[in-house]
Amino acid sequence: MVRVVRATQVEIEAAVQALRDGELVAFPTETVYGLGANAQNPAAVRKIFEAKGRPSNHPVIVHLDSPRYLHRWVREVPQTAMSLAERFWPGPLTMVMPRAANVHDVVTGGQDTVAIRVPSHPMAQQLLTAFGGGIAAPSANRFGRLSPTRAEHVREELGERVKVILDGGECQIGLESTIIAFQGQSVRLLRPGAITAAQIRQVIGELLIGADVESPRVPGGTPSHYAPVTPMTIVPSGEIDARAEALSEGGRRVAVLAQRLPLKGHKYVTWINAGRRPEQYGHDLYANLRTLDKAGCQRILVQDVPEGERWTAIRDRLLRAAASVSESDDSGAMAVLP
C-alpha cells in the first residue's frame, strides 16, 4: 500500500511563492513527479526546458486543480471531453484540446493545442489550489531519461535547478498519464497509461489508437524515451536466463529485470524479480530500472512482458527505453531482440 503524504502549510506556501517568483517546483502526482512552473509565465516555463534539456518544440502538460478552469486554457471543449472529465478527473488522464488565445507557444510547443490534466494526488491538489492557477509540468527528470517516482530521484537528477521539491513519497501509479487528443469528431489515444482504451471506450464509444499525420506532438511521443543510461535490451520471456548467462561469460556484468526468480544463480548478473502483477510492475518499473542502472553493468536485459491491455502502457515504456542506445554502446543497433 502506497503511503500518501500531505504537505505542511509552510511547505505549500514556500512552493507557491517560488512559482510566483518564476522558479521551478517539483511535486508529486499519482503518476510521476512533475517539474512545475507558472504556466502563465513564459520565462519560468523556459526554465523547465533548460533544466531538463528538453527540445523547445516538445509541449508540456498544464495541471489544474479542477475542470472548472478549463475555459481559461481551452478555446473549445468538446462534449466528449466533458464526459471523460466527469469520469476520470481528478486522475491520470491528459486531454489535448484547442488552446485559448492567451496560452503561450512555449507551453504548447508552438502548436494550436494544449494538454490539460487534473491530478488526483492530494499534495498536487494542495499546491494547485493554493497557487490558484495552471502549473506547466512535465516529468521532473532529464529529457528522455527515466521518470522520477520518488523525491530523491528528482534531487539526484536535477539538484539545485529546482527551488522547492515537495516530497509526497512514492507515486501511486508510477507510469505517466494516458494522453488522448480530439481531432474533428474523433478521439485518439496518443500515449497509453493507467486509464485504458477499454475504459475510455466505455464513456465515448469509438477510440482511435496511435498517432496519425494530423496528431499533435505530445509528451513522451518520441520513439526513444524513458530510458536508463545503461543500454537496454528486451528479451523473449523464455530466453532471459540463457541470454543473461551468455552475455555474462568472461566476467561481463549484466543486469536483469524479470517477472520471476532466475533458474540458477549467475555470478556476474544482478537480477530483479518484478513479479507478474501489472499494477505492481508498473509502479516499480522506473525505480527498478534506476537500481539496475546504478549496478555497474554493461547492459540491462528486460524479460518481455505479457500481451494484454493491462500491460500496454508498460510495454510502450519498455520499447521506448530499449530504443535508446547509449553512446558507450557500440552495437549501432536498436536494443530490441526478436
Domains and CATH numbers, the chain: 9-176 (3.90.870.10), 232-322 (3.40.50.11030)
pTM of the model: 0.93
* 331 pLDDT tier (thresholds 50, 70, 90): very low
Q: What is the mean pLDDT of residues 153-163?
A: 95
The C-alpha cell that represents 63 in the structure block: 495541471
* 128 pLDDT tier (thresholds 50, 70, 90): very high
What's the pLDDT at 325?
53
Please report where in the chains the cell 528528482 appears, as a residue: 154
Asked if the model's pLDDT at residue 198 lies above 60, the reply is: yes
Helix then strand then coil, % of the chain, to nearest 5? 35, 20, 45
Angle made by CA atoms 238, 243, 245, in degrees to the nearest 5: 120
What are 70-127's pLDDT values in tens digits?
999 999 999 999 999 999 999 999 999 999 999 999 999 999 999 999 999 999 999 9
CA gap 295, 232 in Å, rounded: 13
What's the pLDDT at 216?
94
CA gap 127, 26 in Å, rounded: 11
Least confident range of 104-108, 174-178, 304-308, 324-328: 324-328
Is residue 96 within 8 Å of 114, Cβ to Cβ?
A: yes
The C-alpha cell that represents 123 in the structure block: 499534495
Rg (alpha carbons) of the chain, rounded to whole number: 20
Strands 25-28 and 164-165: parallel
What are 221-246's pLDDT values in tens digits?
888 889 999 999 999 999 999 999 99
What's the pLDDT at 328?
38
Burial of residue 196 (CB within 10 Å: 0-12, 13-18, 19+) is middle
Nearest by Cα to 107 from 180, 188, 43, 187: 43
Asked if the model's pLDDT at residue 174 lies above 90, the reply is: yes
Q: Across-strand partners of 234?
A: 302, 336
Q: What is the mean pLDDT of residues 131-149?
A: 96
